[in-house]
Chain A
Amino acid sequence: EDKVVQSPLSLVVHEGDTVTLNCSYEVTNFRSLLWYKQEKKAPTFLFMLTSSGIEKKSGRLSSILDKKELSSILNITATQTGDSAIYLCAVQSSGSARQLTFGSGTQLTVLP
């Protein structure tokens, strides 16, 4: 059974700080790892990392996949209050369904 573990469970920082969120996984046949941001309801897509694309960057957010260590990190630099959200990590394995297996998420709170 595929498994995803995220840490820390929650994090409180001040605006301007840099944060690193962690995700580790166990999956039978890895295809991709995805990061989502969930503020109220709909998780919004941030990044997809695969064997052919192990590093992604968009503005202040960046993510790296370590296939050897079966893990990924999501970095957010110069945090803003608008970054406050739950950050979800999910893995997609091979198979016809290509369903996502999610971790429990990291609750990030950015204080002004």
Chain B
Amino acid sequence: DAGVTQSPTHLIKTRGQHVTLRCSPISGHKSVSWYQQVLGQGPQFIFQYYEKEERGRGNFPDRFSARQFPNYSSELNVNALLLGDSALYLCASSLATRARTTDTQYFGPGTRLTVL
């Protein structure tokens, strides 16, 4: 079975541009979460979507937005890029059924974003 896939693997942008990152979850998983990992730190939560609805949002500015499609894939959009947005962006998928109180999240390989 395929794991979580993300595209592109690497991306170089300049300040002020916008970027779209894509994620496909594990087959059967209905929830997608996005994390930002800056060098030397653990991943930081950005968004979680479940069945196309936003379920949670971390402490990130409105320049960050996301959405989930009917096939459960997801996009993360970042507008007006800043140098500080340079990071590894990780997508994680999980079953996240309403009956479950705990939920294992499985991560994709990430997209390395460099903002110049």
Contact = CB atoms under 8 A, between A and B. Distances in A.
B103 A88 contact: no
A79 interface: no
B42 interface: yes
A2 to B, nearest CB: 10
B41 A48 contact: no
Interface string B50-94: 000001111000000000000000000000000000001010101
B40 A45 contact: no
Contact of A95 (B33, B35, B56, B88): B56
B109 A42 contact: yes
How many of chain A's residues touch chain B, expressed as a range?
Answer: 20 to 34
Contact of B107 (A36, A97, A99, A103): A36
Interface of A is mostly: strand
Interface in A26-82: 31-32, 34, 36, 41-45, 48, 50
A44 B102 contact: no
Contacts of B48: 97-99
Interface residues of B, number: 31
Contact of B106 (A45, A90, A105): A45
A68 to B, nearest CB: 20
A20 interface: no
A100 interface: yes
A9 to B, nearest CB: 9
A44 B45 contact: no
Contacts of A92: 102-103
Contact of A31 (B41, B92, B102, B110): B102
Interface of B: 3-4, 33, 35, 40-45, 48, 55-58, 88, 90, 92, 94, 96, 101-110, 112
The 3 closest A-B pairs by CB, nearest first: A97-B56, A102-B42, A99-B45
